[in-house]
């Protein structure tokens, strides 16, 4: 770690690192949100029906989720800045391909390639922060990263709505070239200060391929089961292949000299328990907002852009308070913030149980969003700091990738099971069941944090 990171006030280098990490992650996260509002316009112009529209979203999520672990390993092996440059250049190029797509199939393939590049961005961004900020300043830095990257959820409806209504859906992809060009010169300067990778060694290619199948198979199955059903070979075959690959992956990783995923990381208390808490907490987030977002449109009568804006108060609160709570967690330790935060999030969703009959946003939705936003602010940065602060700096890339993969897979799994919870059609009773299930998951995450997280974060990097 750079000596400069030991100072109290952020240095110029640290400010540049934080800016690059925020912009790179912002781009990857933005493209998870912004395309949804453009789907009707894409369907009208390129055709292909609902299936093409679904895969325009899912192709990105599939490759992003399947490759993120391998990307974290590449970050640790080749250096954070170098992998960020690969990801940033690839993301800009594939964004242009998406914007220029002349058929629905070309757009789907381009979105899949865009997900490959996106997988290189997020783990490397967080690992870069860990490499340049010591444990005292790390919580506040991750808090700022969390707050500003969450702004993607605010900007997405605005970019998507304005582009589709006034310009073209293609603009939502072409616009990615601008931030990529803006931070490229900064990345080039940071390359000189990038942490030198460890001694050159073989990359765990077998592990990487098994990880892609282990993650990609179940993710593909979860996406397809909604239309094909669990009994279809195109669902159970990839699911079975993923489970078999998972078993072989664990066996291989326990025996190879240079593993893609050092399994010993999970024996570190904060890393193991933190990822269990992540699965419960982010699974709850995904299920709750999935059900609530559909309900306020289909039952409440809101338009898509209005519905997106209606759920933004929690994100605004996160932007305002995440750095504050991240700093407190860095000073006092993350345990109680990770416990109290999910409890408040659960309370926010339980307040929304008042929804019924005629929808009144100000009394039925907004109060829960405010309470949830406060809990979210207390949860995100301490959770990330606890997990990344518990592993050696040289493994920060794969540690970040594991945590990102856990949160994304947890969300996909919970959304896949939403139909079993809410029923064939989302009605008010179905929404209430989803909100209760969401609260239960969040309380489970709080319990895991209270029982498993050690306070303060172990100082494993010297």
Integer Cα distance of 441 and 445 in angstroms: 6
Decide if 387 contacts 275 (C-beta within 8 A). Answer: yes
Cα–Cα nearest to 176, from 68, 31, 21, 19: 31
Cα separation, 410 vs 44, whole angstroms? 32
pLDDT for 155 equals 67
Q: Are 239 and 221 in contact (CB under 8 A)?
A: yes
User: Which pLDDT does position 338 carry in this prediction?
Assistant: 93
Residue 306, token pair as written in the block: 């209005």
**Residue 275 · residue 402 · CB < 8 Å:** yes
End-to-end CA separation in angstroms for the chain:
9
Predicted pLDDT at 3: 41
Measured between alpha carbons, how far is 174 from 100 in angstroms, rounded to an integer?
Answer: 9
DSSP string spanning 178-217? HHHHHHHHHHHHHGGGSPPP-S-----HHHHHHHHHHHHH
Nearest CA to 314 out of 339, 340, 289, 281 is that of: 289
Phi and psi, residue 454, nearest 5°: -90, 145
343 is written with which tokens?
Answer: 């409890």
Spatial neighbors of 388 by CB under 8 A, at least 6 apart, are 126, 127, 130, 138, 142, 396, 399, 400, 403
Rounded-to-integer distance, Cα 210 and Cα 241, Å = 10
Distance between CA atoms of residues 30 and 291, nearest Å: 21
Could you give the angle at the alpha carbon of 320 between the alpha carbons of 319 and 321, nearest 5°?
Answer: 100
pTM: 0.77
Contact 374, 344 (CB under 8 A): yes
CA distances from 73 to 61, 248, 339, 343 (A): 19, 18, 30, 34
User: Tens digit of pLDDT per residue, the chain (462 long)?
Assistant: 444 444 455 677 778 888 888 888 878 777 766 776 677 778 888 887 766 776 787 788 778 877 877 787 777 777 778 888 898 899 999 999 999 999 989 999 999 999 899 888 877 777 777 777 776 677 677 777 777 776 666 666 667 667 777 778 888 888 888 888 888 888 877 777 665 555 445 677 888 888 888 878 887 887 777 678 888 898 899 999 999 999 999 999 888 877 777 888 888 899 999 999 999 999 898 888 878 877 887 788 877 667 767 878 887 888 788 878 888 887 888 999 999 999 999 999 999 999 877 888 899 999 999 999 999 999 988 888 888 778 776 676 677 778 877 887 787 778 767 777 876 677 899 899 999 999 999 999 999 999 999 876 444 443
């Amino acid at each position: 770690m750079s000596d400069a990171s030991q100072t109290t006030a952020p240095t110029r280098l640290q400010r540049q690192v934080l800016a690059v990490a925020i912009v790179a992650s912002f781009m990857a996260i933005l493209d998870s949100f912004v395309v949804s509002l453009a789907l009707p316009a894409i369907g009208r112009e390129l055709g292909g029906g609902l299936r093409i529209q679904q895969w325009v979203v899912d192709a990105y999520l599939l490759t992003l989720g399947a490759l993120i672990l391998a990307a974290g390993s590449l970050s640790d092996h080749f250096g954070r800045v170098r992998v960020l440059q690969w990801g940033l250049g690839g993301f800009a190029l594939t964004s242009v391909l998406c914007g220029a797509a002349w058929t629905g199939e070309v757009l789907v393939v381009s979105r899949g390639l865009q997900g490959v590049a996106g997988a290189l961005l997020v783990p490397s961004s967080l690992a870069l922060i860990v490499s340049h900020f010591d444990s005292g300043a790390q919580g506040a830095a991750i808090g700022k990263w969390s707050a500003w990257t969450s702004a993607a959820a605010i900007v997405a409806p605005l970019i998507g709505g304005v582009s589709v209504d006034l310009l073209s859906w293609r603009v939502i992809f072409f616009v990615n070239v601008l931030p990529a060009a803006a931070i490229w010169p900064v990345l080039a300067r940071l390359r000189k200060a990038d942490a030198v990778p460890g001694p050159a060694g073989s990359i765990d290619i077998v592990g990487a391929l098994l990880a892609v199948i282990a993650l990609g198979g179940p993710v593909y199955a979860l996406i397809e089961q909604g239309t094909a059903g669990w009994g279809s070979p195109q669902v159970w075959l990839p699911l079975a292949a993923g489970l078999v690959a998972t078993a072989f992956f664990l066996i291989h990783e326990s025996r190879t000299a240079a593993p893609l995923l050092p399994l010993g990381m999970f024996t570190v208390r904060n890393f193991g328990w933190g990822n269990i808490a992540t699965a419960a907490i982010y699974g709850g987030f995904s299920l709750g907002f999935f059900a609530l977002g559909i309900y306020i449109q289909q039952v409440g009568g809101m338009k898509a852009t209005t519905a997106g804006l209606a759920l933004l108060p929690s994100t605004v609160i996160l932007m305002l308070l995440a750095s504050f709570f991240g700093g407190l967690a860095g000073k006092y330790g993350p345990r109680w913030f990770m416990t109290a935060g999910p409890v408040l999030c659960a309370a926010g969703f339980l307040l929304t149980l008042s929804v019924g009959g005629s929808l009144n946003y100000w009394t039925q939705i907004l109060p829960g969003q405010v309470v949830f936003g406060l809990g979210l602010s207390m949860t995100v940065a301490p959770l990330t700091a606890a997990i990344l602060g518990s592993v050696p700096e040289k493994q920060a890339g794969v540690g970040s990738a594991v945590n990102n993969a856990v949160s994304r897979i947890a969300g996909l799994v919970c959304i896949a099971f939403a139909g079993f919870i809410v029923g064939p059609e989302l009605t008010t009773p179905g929404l209430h069941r989803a909100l209760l299930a969401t609260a239960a998951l969040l309380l489970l995450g709080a319990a895991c944090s209270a029982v498993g997280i050690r306070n303060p974060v172990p100082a494993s990097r010297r």
